Amino acid sequence: MEVRRDPRNFIFLIILFLLINSPEPQQQAFNTRSHYDEIIEREWNALDILNRTRYGDFDPGRNRWLNISGLKDEDGFAWDLLEPVRRKAQEQVKGLFGDAGNGALQEPMTEERKLPVYKNISGYVEGEWVRSSLARVRHPSDMNASSSTLDNPFGMVEYDRNLTGTGGPVRLHMTELEGKMRTDENRTISEVRAKIVIGDHTSFGGNWWEFVLNGVHFPEFGGMVLTTTSDRYAGIFALPHLQLTQYLYTTSQQLLNGTIHDTIERQESRTFPIWNPWSSAVDGASEGMLTNPHCEFVLFLQEHPVQFQLKPGQQPLGAQYDLDWLEHELRYPTGSPMDRRSPLSMSMVGFSPDCGFVIESKGPSAHTPSESVHLVGAKTEVFNDRARHGILAFAITLALQLMFLINQMKETATPSTRNRVSFYTIAIMGLGDGFAFLSLIFMPLFLGTSQLALYAVAFLSLFSVVLELRFLMDIWSVQSTEQMRQEREQAATAGVTTPQRPNSPAPQAPSAVTTDNETLPLPATATPPRPPTPIIIAPDQDDPTQTATTPTIGTTATATTQPQAELGALYSRYSLSLVALFFITLQFTTMRATARAVYFNTLCFFYLSFWTPQIYRNIMRNCRKALRWDFVLGQSAVRMIPIIYLYAVEDNVLFSKTDYRALMVLAGWLWVQILALASQEILGSRFFIREGWAPPAYDYHPILREDEEGATMPIGSTQSPADDTGDSSSMSKAGESKGKGKKVFDCSICTQDIEVPVIPVGASSENSPGLGGGILQRRAYMVTPCRHIFHTPCLEGWMRYRLQCPNCREILPPL
Ligand SMILES: *[C@@H]1O[C@H](CO)[C@@H](O)[C@H](O)[C@H]1NC(C)=O
Ligand SMILES: *[C@@H]1O[C@H](CO)[C@@H](O)[C@H](O)[C@H]1NC(C)=O
Ligand SMILES: *[C@@H]1O[C@H](CO)[C@@H](O)[C@H](O)[C@H]1NC(C)=O
Ligand SMILES: *[C@@H]1O[C@H](CO)[C@@H](O)[C@H](O)[C@H]1NC(C)=O
Ligand SMILES: *[C@@H]1O[C@H](CO)[C@@H](O)[C@H](O)[C@H]1NC(C)=O
Ligand SMILES: *[C@@H]1O[C@H](CO)[C@@H](O)[C@H](O)[C@H]1NC(C)=O
Ligand SMILES: *[C@@H]1O[C@H](CO)[C@@H](O)[C@H](O)[C@H]1NC(C)=O
Ligand SMILES: [Zn+2]
Ligand SMILES: [Zn+2]
C-alpha cells in the first residue's frame, strides 16, 4: 500500500515546488488600468516619433533631441558617448571586411558580393570584455531622473548592472526564430533577442547580471544593434537613430515601425497587462516599481567572417553558395561530411547611455590573440549536438551506475549482509540521483532548448532513484530491527544483572573474568557475560538460542509491521530533503560568482563523501565486507565523470567555469575514502584509529597466545569434542604444535587444516616473530566468540547466510 502512496507524495511536493517557484502574478493596483493606458499612450507617441523622424534628427552633438524618455536633453544621459562608440563599431566592420564591409553599410548587397557570415545568428558566444578609455563613472545624481526617483522611497540608490571594473566575463545567447522573429521581404534585416550574462571581475565576490536585450540583426553583413528598454529609457523606439548609417536607419525604421505597431496592438488586447514587452528582466516579468533602477545598455555586435578549414586539395567554392548550403546542412543534416565547421565568432562594443561606461570585447588588435579572441561560441545546432552527446554520455554513466547498483543489491540479499551496508552511503547516492532527475526535468527551462533525450535520461535517473529507495528500504528494515533488538537486550541487562541463561554453570564465573581481560573482547552485540567454554546444546535445548537469533536472521512479523510506518516517513523525508536541496541550489545559481562557487564546491564535496558513512559504520561495527569492490570503484568512477566534465571541460553545456584546483581536491577526497575502505578491507576496519575511540566490538582475528590455562586458545573442534566440559589443560593439546610458534587446527566447514601462528608461553608480544607480518597472517583465520576457529573465506561465506557458529549455533557478532 505504501508504495502507491509515496509517489503521490513526491509528485505533490514537485507541484508545490512549481507553485512556489512560478513567477507571481503581477499585482494590480487600484489605478492599474489608468496607469496602463498611460503607458500605452506613451508608446503610441514614441512610435509616432519613430514614424515621423529622419536620420540625423537625434544628434546630441548638435543639440538635437527626441521627445522620447531617455532621449530628451533634460534626462541627463551621456549621449555624447554615442558618436565615438558608433565610430568604433564602424571600424569593427571595416577591419573585418574592408571596403566590402563599408559598402554593406551603405546599400543592399548584390548577389555576387555577399560577405561570408552566417545568416542565422541563433547561438551563443562568450569571452571577455574590457573597459574602454572612453568610459566614465556617472553617479545617480548626474541623471535628471526625477520621475523614476520620485516613486523610490530611498531616494538616490546605486544602479544595478553598474559595470565599474576593468573587465569581466561576458556571454551572449542570441535567438532568431524562424516565423516568430519578423524580417523584411528580402531578409536584409531581422528582429533578434539576446540574453547577456555579464560579470565584473573587480566587484566584491564576482558580481554578475543576466538580462535581455532586443534589437535588429542585419544578416547581410552580420551586424547587430541591441538595446534595453525600460520606463526611463525607450530604447527600442530609438534604435533606428542609433544605427551606423542612413541606409541602416531606413531599413530598421521600416521594420520596427511595423513590429512595434503589432506589439503595442497585442499589448492593448491582452486581458492581463504586459507592462513592458521589451523588458530586460530575464523571466519576462515586469521590473517591479520598487526595485533599483538599472543601467541601460546599447551594444553593437559584428560577426566575424566564417573561416573555412579546407582540406588539402579541396577547391574553395563560392563563399555564398557554400555558406547557405552549410547552414542548411547544419540545421537539416543529410549526412554530408561537415568538417568545415567554423565557430560563431563576434566582436562587441557597447556603452551605457546613463551609467556612462563603455565596454569592448577583448581581442586583437588591442590585445594579443593569445590573451583572448573576442567572443567565440557556437551556433545553436552545434551546441545542441554537443548537448546531445553530453546527454548520451550521461545516460551511459547512469546505466553503468544502475548496473553496479543491481550487482550490489544481488550480493546484499541477506539480512546479515544488508546489516553491514551503511544506510547513509546509499542515501547520499539516492539524493544525488534524485537531484540529477530534478535538474534534467527542469533543464529545458534554464537552457531554453528542449531535448527529448533529456526526458529519457531523466527517466533513467528516476529508475535508479526507485532502485536506491528500494535498497534503502531493505537496509532500513534490517537495521532498525537490529537496533531494536540491541536496545531490548541492553534494557534486559540493565534490569537483570545475572546471566539469564538457565544452563550457564555457576562455577564458570571465574574463567569468565579471565576472558574479559584477555585478547577476546566481548562482542558488541552481546553484553551479558557469556560462558567462556562453549556448550554443545542438545537438539531439544536449541529453542532459547533460536528465538534469540530470529530477529537478526529474518524480517519476521515484528520486523515488517513496525518499519512500515517508518517507511512512509523515510520517503517523505527523502523527498523533502531533495526538494529543499534543489530549491536552495536554485537560489544559489543566481548568487555572486564566489558564493556560487563555494556553494557548488561544498555540495560536490558532500556528495562525493558518500563512502564516509560506510567507513564509519565499518569502524563502529568492526566489520569490513560491506560492499563489493566493483561497486565501490565503479560508483566512484561513474559518479565522478559528470563532475569532471563540469569542472574541467572548457565549453561544457552548462557553461560552468573550469576549476582544476577544486576538482583536484574533490578527486583527492574521493581517493582518500577509497584508500580508507581498501585498507579497512586488508588491515582491519579499525587499524587507523586508536583503541578505545570506537565502542568495543568483537575481533575475529585475535593474536593467539599460548598460556598455561589455555583459556584463550581456540578449541580444536574435531580432536577434542569432549573437552569442552572445562578441562582447560586438554585444550592446549587440542591444536598440535608444529614447529616454533605454530599450531594446526581443523576447520569444520571445509575440513582442512589451518596453520596459525601462536605466541608461545612467556614470550612478550613485542619480540614475538609473528607480529611484523602478523596482521596479514591473522587475516587468514577467524576465531568465533565461542572459540571455534575457521578459515576466513570459509566463515565469511557462511556468515553471509547465518550469523551462527556452524559448530555450536552460538550467535556470532556480525562481520
Ligand atoms: C506613420 O506616418 C504616416 C505618414 O507618414 C501615417 O500615415 C501613419 O499613420 C503613421 N503611422 C503611425 C503608426 O503613426
Ligand atoms: C513630448 O511628448 C509629450 C507627450 O508624451 C507632450 O506632452 C509634450 O508636449 C512633448 N514635448 C514636445 C517638446 O514636443
Ligand atoms: C530636469 O528635468 C526638469 C523637467 O523634468 C527640467 O525642468 C530641468 O531643467 C532638468 N534639469 C537638468 C539639469 O537638466
Ligand atoms: C556606479 O558605481 C560607481 C562605483 O561604485 C559609483 O561611484 C557610481 O555612482 C555608480 N553609478 C550609478 C549610476 O549607480
Ligand atoms: C535559426 O536556427 C535555429 C536553430 O536551428 C532555428 O530554430 C531558427 O528558426 C533559425 N532561424 C531562422 C530565421 O532561420
Ligand atoms: C527585394 O529584392 C528584389 C530583387 O532582388 C528587389 O526588387 C526588391 O526591391 C527588394 N525588396 C526590398 C524591400 O529591398
Ligand atoms: C510605418 O507604418 C505605417 C503603417 O503601419 C506606414 O503607413 C508608414 O508609412 C510607415 N512609416 C515608415 C516611415 O515606414
Ligand atoms: Zn575452511
Ligand atoms: Zn562455536
User: Consecutive sets of 10 residues in the chain, 815 residues long: mean pLDDT of each?
Assistant: 46 65 52 79 91 88 87 86 92 86 81 79 92 87 62 65 90 87 83 92 86 91 91 89 91 91 88 81 58 86 79 51 77 73 88 91 84 88 86 92 92 81 92 92 71 84 91 86 80 59 40 37 40 39 38 41 69 90 88 90 94 89 81 93 92 87 95 92 76 71 68 54 39 49 82 81 52 66 85 84 82 74
Please work out whether the CB of residue 67 comes within 6 Å of at least one atom of ligand 2. yes
Q: How far is the CA of 37 from the centre of ligand 9 (A)?
A: 92
**Which residue CA neighbors atom 4 of ligand 6 most closely?**
186
Question: For residue 407, with 0-12 CB atoms within 10 Å meaning exposed, 13-18 middle and 19 or more buried, which class applies?
Answer: middle
> What spacing in Å lies between the alpha carbon of 69 and ligand 3's midpoint?
13
The half-sphere exposure of 591 on its side-chain side, counting CA atoms within 13 A, is 14
Q: For ligand 7, atom 13, name the residue with the nearest CA.
A: 51
Please name the amino acid found at residue 156.
Answer: M
Q: Distance between CA atoms of 66 and 156, rounded to whole angstroms?
A: 26
What is the phi/psi pair of residue 26, to 5°? Answer: -70, 135
* Cell numbers given for 736: 598440535
Contacts of 119 by beta carbon, 8 Å cutoff, 6+ apart: 187, 219, 323, 324, 327
Secondary structure element (H or E) that encloses residue 474, with its range? helix 452-495
Distance CA 552, CA 802 (A): 9
Cross-sheet strand order for the sheet of 742-746: 736-737, 742-746, 753-757
State which of 331, 381, 383, 388 you would mutate to test the pocket of ligand 5, scoring each by most atoms of that ligand within 8 A of its C-beta: 331
- Tell me the residue type at 776: L
What one-letter code names the amino acid at 624? R
Residues 6+ apart with CB under 8 A from 543: none
pLDDT score for 634: 94
- Give the CA dihedral 296, 174, 369, 385, nearest 10 degrees: 150
Ligand having the closest approach to the CA of 809? 9
The reply to whether ligand 2 has any atom less than 6 angstroms from the CB of 291 is no
Which atom of ligand 6 sits closest to the CA of residue 185?
A: 13
- Cα separation, 791 vs 784, whole angstroms: 11
Q: How far is CA 440 from CA 16, 435, 444, 453, in A?
A: 18, 9, 8, 10
Q: Ligand 3 centroid to 157 CA: how many Å? A: 19
Q: What is residue 184's DSSP assignment?
A: -
- Cα(67) to ligand 2 centroid in Å equals 6
Distance of alpha carbon 540 from alpha carbon 554, whole angstroms = 22
Q: How far is the CA of 674 from the centre of ligand 8 (A)?
A: 29
Q: Are the C-beta atoms of 383 and 655 separated by less than 8 Å?
A: no
Regarding the beta carbon of 254 and ligand 6, being less than 6 Å apart is answered: no
What pLDDT does residue 597 have? 92
Distance (Å, rounded) from C-alpha 117 to C-alpha 92? 14
Distance 621 CA to ligand 9 centre (A): 20
DSSP helix/strand/coil, 318 = coil
Residue having the nearest C-alpha atom to atom 6 of ligand 3: 74
H-assigned helices in 53-128: 82-97, 99-106
Q: Which amino acid is at 594?
A: T
The ligand whose atoms approach the alpha carbon of 748 most closely is 8
* Ligand 6 atom closest to Cα of residue 188: 14
List of residues 6+ apart from 475 with CB closer than 8 A: 418, 421, 423, 426
Cis bond upstream, residue 720 (ω within 30)? no
> According to the model, what pLDDT value does residue 511 have?
37
Q: Is 167 helix (H, G, I), strand (E, B) or coil?
A: strand
Residue with the nearest Cα to atom 2 of ligand 6? 186
Ligand 1: lining residues by beta carbon, under 6 Å: 47-48, 51, 261
pTM equals 0.77
Query: Which contacts of 750-758 are long-range, i.e. CB under 8 A and separated by 24 or more positions?
Result: 750/791, 750/794, 752/791, 754/780, 754/781, 754/789, 754/790, 754/791, 756/704, 756/780, 756/781, 756/789, 757/704, 758/704, 758/705, 758/706, 758/713
CA gap 236, 227 in Å, rounded: 7
Cα distance between residue 414 and residue 411, in whole Å: 8
User: Which protein residue has the closest C-alpha to ligand 4 atom 10?
Assistant: 139
The answer, yes or no, to whether any atom of ligand 7 lies below 6 A from the CB of 253, is yes
Burial 47-58 (b: 16+ CB within 10 A, else e): bebbeebebeeb
Longest dimension (CA), the chain: 118
* Whole-number Å distance between alpha carbons of 240 and 249: 5
Tell which one of 141, 152, 158 to mutate to probe ligand 4, the residue whose CB is within 8 A of the most ligand atoms: 158
Q: Say how many Å lie between the CA of residue 73 and the centre of ligand 3.
A: 8
Q: Residue count of the chain, please give it.
A: 815
Judge whether 202 and 164 are in contact, CB under 8 Å: yes
What is the rounded CA–CA span in Å between residue 89 and residue 86? Answer: 5
CA atoms of 290 and 295, how far apart (whole Å) = 15
Q: Is 254 in the pocket of ligand 7 (CB under 6 A)?
A: yes
DSSP-derived secondary structure letter, 201: T
Ligand 3, atom 2, residue with closest C-alpha: 74
- Nearest atom of ligand 7 to the alpha carbon of 261: 5
Contact in structure between 361 and 125 (CB atoms under 8 Å): no
Q: Which of 276, 283, 576 is nearest to 445 (CA)?
A: 283
Q: Residue 274 in contact with residue 283, Cβ under 8 Å?
A: no
- Of 784, 556, 504, 511, the closest CA to residue 496 belongs to 504
> Distances in Å between the alpha carbon of 473 and those of 3, 424, 432, 547, 627?
11, 12, 17, 24, 17
d(CA 397, CA 638): 6
